[in-house]
């Protein structure tokens, strides 16, 4: 038995159609029939995976960069941030001139102030674009932004100040949050902030331990920089045809793009079907 771990966006899901190719669905079904275990390993929290959960049949979900692990419908691990930390992150938006997106079991929260949107002209479009995407994914948390809800991680968007004259204070942000979080640079001023001790790699290790499997029995499929930790721990990394070059240092099997039936192609070549 092997364990297969799949990133979502750009790996299982075509980022143009926002659908899982039929060939990928068939590959997942065939490998499970062989006795292999299939997991979604996503940076999204479970509250932002609702649509995906309804689209695909798998054995489990590793959510929020390893802050919540679900196996056969039951939670086997969960980490949430303290209320004090949540309030500190909310305050960081104004303090450091950053657009903050909070992510938890119940979904996504973001509520930039009018002052922040005025001072950073790029933020309104970024905010509306992401909000629209999350809404399509059924991931908006309806509770008030200042209300009582749990979060496990967060993302930020920053301003280099070239147009606004108000650059984000990333030095100050890193000084305050850099020890408590792994701040992952996703490019274009977007950062994913994962609690220390967590990540896609830690999620894989916790799941393998639960299943009594070794790293050599693990396959990881991904395309972006936040898949790097997963590639560090699986015995068999697989990079999609379109991928962040940082993944190539782990000598992955490089398959075709997701829309070119890349999942099926890789799994067939690797003897997983």
Confidence of residue 234 (pLDDT cuts 50, 70, 90): very high
Domain match, 100 and 22 both: no
Tell me: do 167 and 127 sit in the same domain: yes
**Host domain of residue 62:** 3-79+198-269
pLDDT of residue 141: 86
> Dihedral, CA atoms, 33, 35, 36, 42, nearest 10 degrees?
60
Interval 3-11 mean pLDDT:
96
| pLDDT digit string, tens, across residues 52-111 | 999 999 999 999 999 999 999 999 999 999 999 999 999 999 999 999 999 999 999 999
Q: Any idea what the CATH number is for the domain that residue 39 is in?
A: 3.40.50.1000
- Tally of domains within the chain: 2
Domain of 101, CATH number, reads: 3.30.1240.10
The answer on 231 and 220 residing in a single domain is yes
Q: Are residues 102 and 144 in the same domain?
A: yes
Do 94 and 182 reside in the same domain of the chain? Answer: yes
The H-assigned helical ranges of the chain are 22-33, 50-55, 83-96, 114-119, 123-136, 170-177, 200-211, 228-233, 262-269
Q: Are residues 181 and 116 in the same domain?
A: yes
Residues 88 and 115 both lie in one domain = yes
pLDDT digits (tens, 9 = 90+) for 119-167: 999 999 999 999 998 998 888 888 888 899 999 999 999 999 999 999 9
**44 and 119 fall within a common domain:** no
Provide the pLDDT for residue 164.
95
**Is the confidence at residue 226, as pLDDT, over 90?**
no
Q: What number of CA atoms fall less than 13 Å from residue 157's CA on the CB side?
A: 19
The rounded percent of the chain whose pLDDT value lies above 90 is 90
Burial-class residue 72 by CB neighbours within 10 Å (0-12, 13-18, 19+). Answer: exposed
pLDDT given for residue 114 in this prediction: 96
Clarify whether residues 183 and 106 are in a common domain: yes
What is the residue-averaged pLDDT of the chain? Answer: 96
**Overall average pLDDT of the 230-243 stretch:** 98
33 and 66 in a single domain? The answer is: yes
Which residue, 195, 214, 237, sits at the end of a domain?
A: 195
Q: Give the pLDDT band (50/70/90) at residue 193.
A: very high
Tell me what percent of the chain is helix, strand and coil, each rounded to the nearest 5. 40, 25, 40
Domain boundary among 175, 195, 215: 195
| Last residue in a domain, options 195, 229, 261 | 195
pLDDT at 17 over 90: no
pLDDT at residue 156 in the model: 98
Does residue 68 sit in the same domain as residue 166?
no
63 and 17 in a single domain? The answer is: yes
């Amino acid at each position: 038995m092997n364990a297969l771990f799949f990133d979502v966006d750009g790996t299982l899901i075509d980022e143009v159609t926002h659908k899982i190719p039929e060939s990928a669905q068939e590959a997942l079904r065939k490998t499970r029939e062989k006795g292999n275990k299939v997991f979604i390993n996503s940076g999204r929290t479970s509250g932002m995976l609702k649509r995906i959960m309804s689209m695909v049949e798998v054995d489990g979900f590793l959510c929020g960069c390893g802050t919540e692990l679900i196996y056969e419908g039951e939670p086997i691990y969960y980490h949430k941030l303290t209320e004090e930390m949540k309030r500190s992150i909310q305050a960081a938006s104004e303090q450091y001139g950053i657009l903050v997106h909070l992510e938890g079991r119940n979904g996504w929260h973001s509520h930039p102030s009018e002052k922040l949107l005025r001072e950073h002209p790029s933020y309104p479009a970024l905010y509306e674009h992401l909000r629209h995407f999350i809404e399509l994914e059924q991931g908006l948390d309806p509770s008030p932004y200042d209300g009582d809800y749990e979060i496990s991680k967060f993302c930020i968007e920053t301003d280099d100040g070239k147009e606004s004259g108000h650059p984000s204070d990333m030095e100050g942000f890193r000084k305050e949050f850099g020890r408590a979080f792994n701040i992952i640079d996703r490019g274009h001023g977007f950062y994913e902030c994962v609690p220390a001790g967590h990540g896609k790699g830690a999620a894989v290790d916790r799941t393998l331990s639960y299943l009594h499997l070794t790293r050599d029995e693990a396959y990881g499929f991904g395309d972006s920089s936040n898949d790097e930790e997963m590639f560090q721990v699986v015995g068999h990394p697989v990079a999609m045809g379109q991928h962040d070059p940082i993944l190539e240092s782990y000598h992955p099997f490089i398959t075709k793009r997701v829309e070119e039936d890349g999942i099926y192609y890789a799994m067939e070549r690797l003897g997983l079907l």
